[in-house]
């Protein structure tokens, strides 16, 4: 069997050194080809631990943040997951390997279309890509075991909290749109919502509505 290329070995080592210990998450990040989700000019640097620019002024999150948020969700194959902010589709591809069903919502049509094509090529047939406003999800989408928000919000919208099942977990970057945010994990328990602040991050801001262009 051919050994992993050096950049992927460094990629895995970096994740482990930074505290990612869930073996299923580590295997999934190794298996999903990140180079398929970055811009062609950035493919040589796809496994560098940094965020990268993509179309529509958005970014693909750095691998550590993807791994950390995924690990905090404690995913199972029975889970139905909602992702707000499809972007490149990379996070959705990771979720697809660890969960049962994934609904990912994107406000930019261009990004939604490209992500859909990428996910289909990878055989992620348990992912549905939806063009929509992720900050105002209609009740018709139903309930979710896990919710992940991949754009900064100043507060977690009630419309998302209402979509969370009992014992469900939501994770989102909360804070100013053009500064440092804090990842917040919310668990819905029988007694209410349990909130915990985790680590500081930087995400592009979440914007209400569907983009008129792009």
- What residues act catalytically? 61
3-state SS of 131-184?
A: ECCCCCCCHHHCCEEEEEECCEECCCCHHHHCCEEEEEEEEEEECCCCCCEEEE
Instruction: Give phi and psi for 38, each to the nearest 5.
Output: -100, 170
Q: Is 54 helix (H, G, I), strand (E, B) or coil?
A: coil
Distance CA 91, CA 110 (A): 17
DSSP string, 63-80: HHHHHHHHHHH---TT-E
Gap between the Cα atoms of 145 and 140, Å rounded: 16
CB 177 within 8 A of CB 207: no
């Amino acid at each position: 069997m051919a050994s992993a290329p050096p950049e992927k070995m460094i990629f895995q080592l970096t994740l482990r050194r930074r505290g990612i210990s869930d073996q299923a998450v580590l295997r999934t990040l190794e298996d999903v080809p990140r180079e398929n989700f970055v811009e062609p000019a950035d493919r040589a640097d796809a496994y560098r631990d940094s965020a990268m620019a993509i179309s529509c002024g958005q970014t693909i999150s750095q691998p550590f943040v993807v791994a950390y948020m995924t690990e905090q969700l404690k995913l199972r194959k029975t889970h139905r997951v909602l992702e707000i902010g499809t972007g490149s589709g990379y996070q959705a591809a990771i979720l697809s390997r660890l969960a049962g069903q994934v609904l990912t919502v994107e406000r930019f049509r261009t990004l939604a279309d490209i992500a859909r094509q990428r996910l289909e090529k990878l055989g992620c047939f348990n992912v549905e890509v939806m063009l929509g406003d992720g900050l105002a999800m209609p009740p018709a989408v139903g309930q979710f075991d896990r919710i992940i928000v991949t754009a900064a919000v100043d507060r977690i919208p009630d419309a998302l909290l209402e979509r969370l099942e009992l014992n469900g977990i939501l994770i989102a970057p909360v804070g100013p749109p053009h500064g440092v945010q804090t990842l917040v994990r919310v668990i819905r328990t029988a007694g209410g919502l349990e909130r915990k602040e985790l680590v500081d991050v930087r995400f592009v801001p979440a914007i209400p509505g569907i983009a008129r262009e792009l």
